[in-house]
Amino acid sequence: MHKKTGKIFSILTISLFLLSSCSTVPITGRKRIALLPSSNLTTMALQSYRTLLNKSRLSNDSRKIAIVRRVGRRIAVAAEQFMREEGLTKALKNFHWEFNLIDDPKTVNAFCMPGGKVAVYTGILPVAKNETGLAVILGHEVAHAIAKHGNERMSQLLLVQLGGIALDAALKSKPDQTRSFLMLAFGVAAQVGILLPFSRTHESEADHIGLILMARAGYNPVDAVSFWQRMDKLGGAKLPQFLSTHPASKTRVKRLKKLLPEVIKYYKK
């Protein structure tokens, strides 16, 4: 095969592969690329989850554990109903819900891995205050899993790495100093122009879907506004929004308020 023809064939092959890997995020309708098979990602997530639990100190507070698992079950049921209605029934086979509470008062965090493996750190419970606040957290984290943000994030990193390799190969004839400068510029542009904005998009989508999940689970979505306001009051250094993976707190709260008329109907039902 001619060298030029081979390059064109490779580009067409990659383009077709990327197009075939595109899917749509529920509610927002945004097109995403998910290059990794969901079953493989679920297996990797389970291994990471087990490793984390083995290294962590799990809470032995039966009352708090019961609250986390009660709210978690309600959010999980709402998520499964939501996925069926959104035509994502096949994806349900990869979800095996599990909710654990990690005893770490200094860590204000929670997460949901692909496949529905959830961990809540005790440090976030005072911010949650009650079950509704916890529903805000779990709804948001489960929404990340439903929207396949983990798969998309890994796919983005893979594509950026491939782009860097291709650029480095194209610059082989350039002086070393020029190559180093251009590669550095590529890294900064990829981080600020691609990866960070996508992270903020993920957070906004998780806010939107999370509100729907908590409302469908029977928790008042209006309380999400006060929860994120409490999170904002925790303090700490705040990066400019364009350099942050999360939307600015004021931006997030403003967006949540706009979404309330849409999602409150699920709660009223």
Distance CA 248, CA 62 (A): 35
Q: What is the pLDDT of residues 160-169, one digit of tens each?
A: 565 545 445 5
Report which residue type is found at 251. T
**Residue range 24-41: mean pLDDT, rounded:** 71
- Neighbouring C-beta atoms of residue 143, cutoff 10 Å: 29
Taking the CA atoms of residue 150, residue 153, residue 155 and residue 161 in that order, the dihedral angle to the nearest 10 degrees is -140
Top mean-pLDDT range of 44-58, 87-101, 120-134, 139-153:
120-134
Mean pLDDT score across all residues of the chain: 77
Top mean-pLDDT range of 52-56, 179-183, 252-256:
52-56
* Residues above pLDDT 70, as percent of the chain: 67
pLDDT band at 100; cut points 50, 70, 90: very high
Which of 29-38, 138-147, 238-247 has the weakest average pLDDT? 238-247
Q: Has residue 1 been placed in a domain?
A: no
Q: Has residue 2 been placed in a domain?
A: no
Is the pTM of the predicted complex or chain greater than 0.75?
Answer: no
Distance CA 60, CA 52 (A): 17
Which pLDDT value is given to residue 236?
59
pLDDT at 250 over 60: yes
**Residue range 43-56: mean pLDDT, rounded:** 89
Which pLDDT value is given to residue 104?
96
C-alpha distances (whole Å) from 258 to each of 27, 108, 198 are 15, 26, 21
Please give the distance of CA 214 from its chain centroid, rounded to a whole number: 17
Secondary structure in 3-state letters for 224-244? HHHHHHHHHCCCCCCCCHHHC
Question: What is the count of structural domains for the chain?
Answer: 1
- Beta carbons of 205 and 26 less than 8 angstroms apart: no
Q: Identify the active-site residue in 141, 152, 203, 205.
A: 141
Q: How many Cα neighbours within 13 Å face the side chain of 195? A: 18
Which pLDDT value is given to residue 233?
82
Q: Has residue 55 been placed in a domain?
A: yes
Which pLDDT value is given to residue 158?
62
Domain carrying residue 109: 23-151+197-268
More confident residue, 159 or 76: 76
Which pLDDT value is given to residue 242?
40
Q: Has residue 64 been placed in a domain?
A: yes
Which pLDDT value is given to residue 35?
62
- Mark whether 80 is an active-site residue: no
**Residue range 221-247: mean pLDDT, rounded:** 71
Which pLDDT value is given to residue 196?
43
pLDDT band at 156; cut points 50, 70, 90: low
pLDDT at 139 over 50: yes
